[in-house]
Amino acid sequence: MISSRFATPAAALLAFVLLPSAVAAQAGLVMEDGQAQIVPAFADSSAWIRHELWVETEFDSDGDGRPDRVHLDVTRPAQTDSEGMRVPVIYETSPYYSGVAGIDFAHFWDLRQEVGGEAPPRDPFPATIQHIESQPRISNSHVATWVPRGFAVVHSQSPGTGQSQGCPTVGGANESLAPKAVIDWLNGRARGFTSVDGDEEVDAYWATGRVGMTGTSYNGTLPLAAATTGVEGLEAIIPIAPNTSYYHYYRSNGLVRSPGGYPGEDIDVLFDFIFSGFPEVRDYCLANVRDEMTARLDRATGDYNDFWAGRDYLNQVDGVSAATLMSHAFNDWNVMPEHSYRISEALGERGVPLQIYYHQGGHGGAPPLELMNRWFTRYVVGVENGVEEDPAAWIVREGDDRAEPTPYPSYPHPEADGVTLRPGGDGHWTGTLSLDDAGAGTGAIIDNFAFTGDQLAAAEWSSHRLLYATPELREDVHLSGVATVRVRMSADAPAANLSVWLVSLPWTESGEINDNIITKGWADPANAGAEDIASPRTGTPLAPGAFVDLEFALQPDDQIISAGARIGLMIFSSDKFFTLHPDPGTTLTVDLGETRIALPVVGGSAALRRALGVPASE
C-alpha cells in the first residue's frame, strides 16, 4: 500500500470500485490511500481506443448562421468497448493545440505612450499561423497519467483555433460555452458528429458523465470558464496559474500594465497569437471580434468597462459548484497570484469545496500528483477518501521540493495579522521603515522608464525612486497574505505611473526568480477616488501639485524573510518591463507622513517587534 503524506488516516483505504454502467461492468478502478491506481489491464497503450469528433455548441461566433462545432479527441481504455465499462473523464481544452504565432514585439503595442494619452496605432500580426486541416490526435497531455488508472482523457480546441469552428474571443462567452458543450455531450445532452460538417452522429456511451478539468495558464483559465456555466457533470477543476480576469491580466488598479515577459501585450495581441482556425472565417473574425477588442480595450485611461467586465470570471462565479483545487506560484509575474487568490476567496465564501496549492516558483507548476489524484478521485470518481478533512492550503516553502508542501489550515496563514510600517528619512539613499510614526516630510521621484526596478532597488542613491528599509531582522519574519500600501502623492503632470515593490535587502544579483522581490503592485493615481480601485470605472486627471491618496493591495505572497535581511519599501513611477513608457521628467512628490504599508505578519505585531528588537507596545 502506498503511504500518502496527503491522506488522512481515514482515507487510507484499498477498494475495488465498479463504475455504474448500463451493462455489466467487468473491470473497475483500484483505489489505495484514496487515490486511483494504475491497473495493468488499462495500461496497455496499444489497446487504447482513440478517436476524434466534433461537438455542436449553442453559439454561432463566426456568423455563418449555423451553430459552431468544436473539435475534440478521445483516448479511453479498451474495456470501454470490450467489457462495456463506463469511465470518468479528465478533460483539457486549449487554444494552443494547433500552434501559435511567434513572439514578435513589433506587432505588440508601443509602450512609448504618455499615461492618459492616446496609444500609438498597433500593427497587427500578419496571418502567420498555418491552418492545420486535419489533426486526429490533438494532444497527449494527461493520457499516460489517467488512462492507466481507468479514466478517459478528452482534449478539445477552443473556438477559432485548429479544427474548431468559430472565432477566438479571449474570455468571451463562447470560451465558456464550448467546454460546456463537450461536457453536455459526455452526458448525452449535446450532439457529436464524426466530421465538422457531416450528419453522422456519435455518442459517449462509454462515459459516466462525471468530468474533471485541468490545465495550465490559458488552459487553466478554461476549466474555471466552463465551471461558471454551472454545467451538470463538471464535478471538479484543477486550474493551474489561471487567468481569472483579462482586465487584471492587462491592467492594475486602473493602470495599463503588461504581463511579465510580454511588454506591450494586450487582449487583441493575444487574439492574433492564437487565431489558427478556418481561413474562410478569418476576415469575419478580424472585423467583428479582433477590431472590437482594439476599439474597446482602452489603453488611454486603463479603466474598467463592460467589455472587461464580461471577461472577468469573478462576475460569473456564482455559477461555480465544481470542487476547485487551485494552483499558483507566488513569483508568477505573468499571470499574477491575485488571479487564484480572488477566485479562491469568492468560492470559499460560497461554500464550494476548495483547496489551494502555492509554490515559490514562476509561471505554471501543477500540484503534486497525489493531491490531484485525491481531488479527482473524491469528486470525479465519487470515492469517499476524506479529502474534505485535508488541510485547505498547501504552501511550498523556500528551498523545498514542490512535492513536499507545508500544510496550512487556510491561506493566508490563520495567525497572520496586519502590521503597519511607516517610511521616513531620505529615500534617495535608503530611508527608514519603522513601526512608529516617522514624522512629516516628503520625498520626490523623477520618472524615468529607462531604469529597471532591479537597478533602482540595487542603487546606493537614486532620484528616480524612494527606498525605505527596516533595520536588520534579528529573527526570521514570516509574511502570509496580502500587503496593502497607502501612498499620498502629487505630480506635476495630469497623469503618471505609480509602482511599488516590497523587497528584501541587501540586493543581490537576480536569477530566474529574484529572491529579493517579496511582492509588487501598480496603480493609476487618477483613480485615487475610485469606489473600487481594483476595477475602476472612471478616473480624474491629477491637478498639478494637488495631493491624492491611493490605497491598494500588492500581490499575495507567503515568504519567510531571513534574519539579517532588511524589509524595504520602494516607491517609483514607471516600471520598465510592466508599465507604459512616458517621456522622462515627471516629478512625483510623496507625503511620507501619510504613506504606510501594512504587512501580513504571521504572529502579528509581537513577532515583528521581536524581529526588529523593538520593545512590546504597552
Q: What are phi and psi of 150, to 5 degrees?
A: 95, 20
CB 566 within 8 A of CB 477: no
Instruction: Please determine, for residue 20, whether its predicted confidence score (pLDDT) is greater than 50.
Output: no
- From the CB of residue 11, how many other CB atoms can be counted at a distance below 10 Å? 23
Establish whether 107 is a catalytic residue.
no
Q: What is the residue-wise DSSP string for 266-295?
A: -HHHHHHHH--S-GGGHHHHIIIIIHHHHH
Residue with cell 466552463: 226
Instruction: Please determine, for residue 2, whether its predicted confidence score (pLDDT) is greater than 50.
Output: no
The Cα-based distances of 597 to 95, 414, 421, 600 in angstroms read 40, 20, 5, 10
Local structure of 402: helix, strand or coil: coil
pLDDT of residue 618: 46
Residue ranges of E strands in 360-493: 393-395, 406-408, 416-424, 431-434, 442-446, 465-469, 477-481, 484-491
Catalytic site residue from 71, 142, 363, 464 = 363
Establish whether 217 is a catalytic residue.
yes
282's torsion region: left (phi>0), alpha (psi -120 to 50) or beta? Answer: alpha
The angle formed by the CA atoms of residues 305, 306 and 310, to the nearest 5 degrees, is: 120
Instruction: Please determine, for residue 27, whether its predicted confidence score (pLDDT) is greater than 50.
Output: no
Of 478, 473, 486, nearest in space to 557 by CA: 478
Task: Express each pLDDT in 498-546 by its tens digit.
Answer: 999 999 999 997 666 788 999 999 999 999 989 999 999 999 999 999 9
Residue with cell 445532452: 189
Instruction: Please determine, for residue 476, whether its predicted confidence score (pLDDT) is greater than 60.
Output: yes
Task: Express each pLDDT in 333-392 by its tens digit.
Answer: 999 999 999 999 999 999 999 999 999 999 999 999 999 999 999 999 999 999 999 999
CB 86 within 8 A of CB 20: yes
pLDDT of residue 509: 76
User: What is the spatial distance between Cα 286 and Cα 291, in angstroms, rounded to a whole number?
Assistant: 6
Q: Which helix (H) or strand (E) holds 93?
A: strand 87-94
Residue with cell 526588529: 612
pLDDT of residue 37: 97
Collect all residues with Cβ–Cβ distance below 8 Å to 160 and sequence separation of at least 6. Answer: 61, 62, 95, 166, 167, 168, 169, 274, 275, 276, 277, 281, 285
Whether cis (ω within 30° of 0) applies to the bond prior to 223 is no
DSSP 102: -
Instruction: Work out whether strand 87-94 and strand 201-202 pair parallel, antiparallel, or are unpaired.
Output: unpaired
Q: What is the residue-wise DSSP string for 181-245?
A: HHHHHHTTSS-EESSSS---EE--TTEEEEEEEEEETHHHHHHHHHHHTT-TTEEEEEEES---B
Local structure of 521: helix, strand or coil: strand
The angle formed by the CA atoms of residues 365, 370 and 373, to the nearest 5 degrees, is: 95
Of 172, 18, 183, 6, nearest in space to 91 by CA: 183
Instruction: Please determine, for residue 23, whether its predicted confidence score (pLDDT) is greater than 70.
Output: no
The neighbouring-strand residues paired with 14 are 32
pLDDT of residue 28: 84
Task: Express each pLDDT in 378-422 by its tens digit.
Answer: 999 999 999 999 999 999 999 999 999 999 999 999 999 999 999
Task: Express each pLDDT in 195-240 by its tens digit.
Answer: 999 999 999 999 999 999 999 999 999 999 999 999 999 999 999 9
Q: Which helix (H) or strand (E) holds 76?
A: strand 69-76
The neighbouring-strand residues paired with 19 are none
Radius of gyration of the chain (CA): 26
Q: Grid coordinates standing for 404? A: 513536499
Q: How far is C-alpha 196 from the geometric centre of its chain's CA atoms?
A: 32
Residue 279 half-sphere exposure toward CB, CA atoms < 13 A: 8
Task: Express each pLDDT in 96-150 by its tens digit.
Answer: 999 999 899 999 999 999 999 999 999 999 988 999 999 999 999 999 999 999 9
564's torsion region: left (phi>0), alpha (psi -120 to 50) or beta? Answer: left
In this structure, of 8-22, 27-41, 80-94, 297-311, the range with the lowest mean pLDDT score is 8-22
pLDDT of residue 19: 42
pLDDT of residue 26: 31
pLDDT of residue 15: 45
Catalytic site residue from 332, 454, 524, 558 = 332
Instruction: Work out whether strand 207-216 and strand 201-202 pair parallel, antiparallel, or are unpaired.
Output: unpaired
Q: How far is C-alpha 310 from the geometric centre of its chain's CA atoms?
A: 17
Quote the pTM value: 0.96
CB 262 within 8 A of CB 100: no
Local structure of 484: helix, strand or coil: strand
User: What domains lie within the chain, and their CATH numbers?
Assistant: 38-320 (3.40.50), 416-612 (2.60.120.260)
Instruction: Please determine, for residue 428, whether its predicted confidence score (pLDDT) is greater than 70.
Output: yes
Establish whether 413 is a catalytic residue.
no
Residue 131 half-sphere exposure toward CB, CA atoms < 13 A: 15
Catalytic site residue from 217, 252, 327, 462 = 217
Q: Grid coordinates standing for 157? A: 480546441
